[in-house]
Amino acid sequence: MMGCGKPVLRVADASLGDYYTEKEFKKLNDEQRREYCAELARQDSIYKAELVELRGELDGTRSRSLRLRQEGDSLFALGTAVESRMRGAPGGASPGKPGRRAPGRAGAATHVVRPGESLWRISASPQVYGSGARWPDLYEANRGRIRDPNLIYPGQELSIPR
């Protein structure tokens, strides 16, 4: 009898990610092989359809990300323009440069966060503490302005306690 092999002891369910080994596949008879291959083809078409759907979602996410980045850049530019107008206004608040004394806060200076800075980097600068390990001092002094010490924003004005 052609095509009759030894019976397979288990049934693999490709829809659940359970597949036959090559050795098990060779033990299948022709009908079982056809059924198994048809199931694999169905699963393949399902996975391809899911990929198409996920690629569409990814494109939408990329588009939203680009839009948000552009909005963020626009807001940053607007903030920079307002900041520069405030500097030029009589009696206007001028954003702090490292080491400038903050009005009304004895022993405190201010620092305006620049792109790419972290509390560690600010703390390590010679104008501040000269040691990155003192970043918790900055965080404690600015808890009302900083929710997450790993997330500060360009333009934020920080108090620097001395």
Q: Which pLDDT tens digit goes with each residue over 113-133? A: 999 999 999 999 999 999 999
Q: Are residues 124 and 149 in the same domain?
A: yes
144 found inside a domain: yes
Query: Is the confidence at residue 93, as pLDDT, over 70?
Result: no
In angstroms, the CA 142 to CA 138 distance is: 6
3-state secondary structure of 96: coil
35 found inside a domain: yes
pLDDT higher for 42 or 101? 42
34 found inside a domain: yes
Q: Are residues 67 and 123 in the same domain?
A: no
Q: Are residues 83 and 32 in the same domain?
A: yes
Give the sign of the dihedral formed by CA 17, CA 21, CA 24, CA 26.
positive
**β-strands 100-101, 157-161 pairing:** unpaired
pTM, full prediction? 0.38
Q: Are residues 118 and 81 in the same domain?
A: no
Query: Among the three residues 37, 59, 88, which one is the final residue of a domain in this structure?
Result: 88
Which residues constitute the domain of residue 131? 100-161
